[in-house]
Amino acid sequence: MTSNALPATAPDRATDRATTTRPLPRALARMLSLDDFEAAARKRLPRPIFGYVVGAAEDNQSLQDNRRAFAQYGFAPRVLVDVSHRTTQTELFGRTYAAPFGIAPMGISALSAYRGDVVQARAAREANIPAILSGTSLIALEDVIQEAPGTWFQAYLPGDPAKIDALVERARRAGYETLVLTVDIPVSANRENNVRTGFSTPLKPSLRLAWDGLTRPRWLAGTFLRTLLAHGMPHFENSFATRGAPIVSASVLRDFTARDHLSWEHVARIRRQWPGTLIIKGILHPHDAALARQHGADGIIVSNHGGRQLDGAISPLRALPAMVDAAGGMTVMMDSGVRRGGDVLKALALGARFVFVGRPFNYASAVGGQAGVAHAINLLRAEVDRNMAMLGINNVREMDASLLWCDGLPSASGPLP
């Protein structure tokens, strides 16, 4: 990949100040943190759509523990360090990104915002951070990469080897250089929340769904009807080498089954075929991290799918140290539960090279389109920069466990009183 680096000194922050001082629409000016977007999106999105995004599996144990894990670590900052030349830039797979975080894949984002996948990918490209297009997106992968070169593609592997080959080849021909294989979905999760909020796959028209749309007129006109008029009924575009089923088709369920026999042999097959960067997403066990390295993966994303698959699965932050040890120098990243710049830095301190954030950027697109996503990126990057200054570091590579405190975790200064 070619480098798209920004200057690595004070001009970074001058650029940030110029960006953040531009007048924002009133709705975005009230957004002071990533969590603010969630509250605003709840008011804007129909109940089933918001329920799909916010929900997780069964009792939400993993979802809640993802946040709880971050709260159990504290910072042990250094002071009187010259941090006037700090930078949030991060090297990853031969490219320099503006910050150590990117946008995680989120399915059916085009139901949250008009052309939601394009909106997020374009905002990420302009901010010089990576975005990962979901395999369950409703916009063709070719359209997204054309709008935002450098986007990564996340594949949910079909059950048939020939279909796997065809999908991987399609992504290669489209110009993707980074392929992310999500491997934690051998079967569909038990997402009771979807049922309770009225969301279903396929999406079933009903009086309740119609009422939810009518009571959210900005979403109805600006997202759903606009999509129908400009592009027709949304389809799952990227599950196979050919166009998938429309979101209202009964065949949708069939398209997302037959994954329970997938194995590391399929990863080896893809590694032989894929010439670019290959990442395995959805790993939580150190043995699987070692297997990913043995099968030629360039990196892994430690993830419990945002709590949306196996309820009770360990939080990625808790899993990180053992995963880094098992990776043997392979690039380790993580997602699930990241909401603040401090969360990003805690993950880096425990060995992650990079983190990804999902739901908040989906909410940001629903609230403010591309401008909303750009604002969310700026907020998170500003938090990272501010926290680096108060921690006494100039580069994200300096963030390590000596700057953290937790029961049982060694610290350079020893446990704090």
Instruction: Name the binding residues.
Output: 52, 105-107, 134, 154, 156, 182, 191, 281, 303, 305, 308, 335-339, 358-359
Q: Is 306 helix (H, G, I), strand (E, B) or coil?
A: helix
Whether 305 is catalytic: yes
Strand arrangement of the beta sheet that strand 101-103 belongs to: 101-103, 354-357, 331-335, 299-302, 277-283, 178-182, 152-155, 132-133
Computed on alpha carbons and rounded to an integer, the radius of gyration of the chain in Å comes to 21
129 in Cβ contact with 148 (< 8 Å) = no
Give the residue ranges of the annotated binding site for FMN: 105-107, 134, 154, 182, 281, 303, 335-339, 358-359
Nearest to 101 by CA among 110, 92, 111, 112: 92
Beta bridge partners of 302: 283, 334
From the number of C-beta atoms within 10 Å of its C-beta (0-12, 13-18, 19+), residue 323 rates as: buried
Rounded distance between C-alpha atoms, residue 58 and residue 62, angstroms: 9
φ, ψ for residue 341, nearest 5 deg: -60, -35
Catalytic residue among 235, 266, 305, 375: 305
Rounded distance between C-alpha atoms, residue 262 and residue 245, angstroms: 22
Residues 6+ apart with CB under 8 A from 298: 93, 277, 278, 279, 330, 331
Q: What is the CB neighbour count within 10 angstroms for residue 177?
A: 20
Rounded distance between C-alpha atoms, residue 136 and residue 348, angstroms: 29
Furthest CA-CA distance within the chain? 63
Rounded distance between C-alpha atoms, residue 359 and residue 38, angstroms: 8
Question: Using a CB cutoff of 8 Å and minimum separation of 24, what contacts does 259-264 make?
Answer: 259/156, 259/157, 259/158, 259/159, 259/185, 259/186, 259/187, 260/186, 260/187, 261/159, 262/157, 262/159, 262/183, 262/186, 264/291, 264/295
Residues taking part in catalysis: 305
